[in-house]
Homo-oligomer: A and B are copies of this chain.
């Protein structure tokens, strides 16, 4: 047909020539990064169908599944993030985009329940109003990789109530609860009063829950408390602390647990002066941690180096930087 990658003739396409022709027609995109992402997406999508000999009924089932995932999304539920989480993609993307040098705090999955409704509260605030929860004092510091306190960092914290539900999962809620935005003080410290986290199932009444059932996987996440740190000049850190000894510590449905993020809860009376200093009963449980943020420059250099190493390992020798990301050469 005289078809060429530059001037595709989109006719008589077959199992063997459809991929190159879809690439050819998509090559008109003038956003180089988008063009590269689309090119790799089409290769993987088509290879998946060719390798598995995907049939029409399976394709229809996939269309139906993805449609149901999309339609399960609401202002307060993100079923596609849940799908990404249970397939390990969320953890993988975080690891690629936010590499951590050895001396810093590791990241983990954001999860679908972060919300922008959280109120900015002062240090010491009570962030959980669930009377059924076991009170827990959170006292943490934030430093840079040289050990210097990071003051004025924005610290987003969130957790479930004692029943394992986030505020946004209640249709009749009045406003945000079990979440807040705190700010580190001059010593890089932030603290608040919360409750001891509990394990809970990710929402399993939708299509992702059905998928987990089909895969004979349980939907539980081990007990954890979420943190997100923002401060200009530092790479955003999305992480969480997990409680040691949780029944799901080694089988998190969304693959988020890292040994460096597993903590032993203490009791306030374990630390001299804490009960008075923070105005809580001595028997209150205590979560402490020293977080270490990485500068934007250090993160960018590490991301760049890891990308080069990984891509060279898979045989992509000709690399270039597009939109700040190292990728195989596009031409």
Binding site for B on A (CB under 8 A): 9-15, 18-19, 21-22, 25-26, 28-31, 34, 36-38, 40-42, 44-56, 58-59, 63, 66-71, 73, 78, 80-81, 84, 87-98, 214-217, 249-252, 255, 257-259, 303, 306-307, 310-311, 314, 316, 325-328
Q: Would you mind naming 16 contact pairs between A and B with Cβ atoms under 8 Å apart?
A: A11-B249, A11-B250, A14-B95, A15-B306, A28-B215, A29-B216, A36-B52, A37-B58, A45-B89, A51-B311, A51-B314, A66-B66, A66-B69, A66-B70, A69-B70, A70-B73
Minimum C-beta distance from A119 to chain B (A): 24
Residues on B with C-beta less than 8 A from A47 are 44
User: Are B26 and A310 in touch, CB under 8 angstroms?
Assistant: no
The answer to whether B12 touches A259 (Cβ under 8 A) is: yes
Q: State in angstroms the CA–CA spacing of A47 and B217 once bound together.
A: 23
Which residue of the partner chain, among B56, B73, B217, B328, contacts A94 with CB atoms under 8 Å?
A: B56
Q: What are the residues of chain B within 8 A of A12 when measuring CB–CB?
A: 257-259
A47 to B45, CA, bound (A): 11
Please state if B46 and A97 are interface contacts (CB–CB under 8 Å). no
- C-alpha spacing A257/B328, complex, angstroms: 33
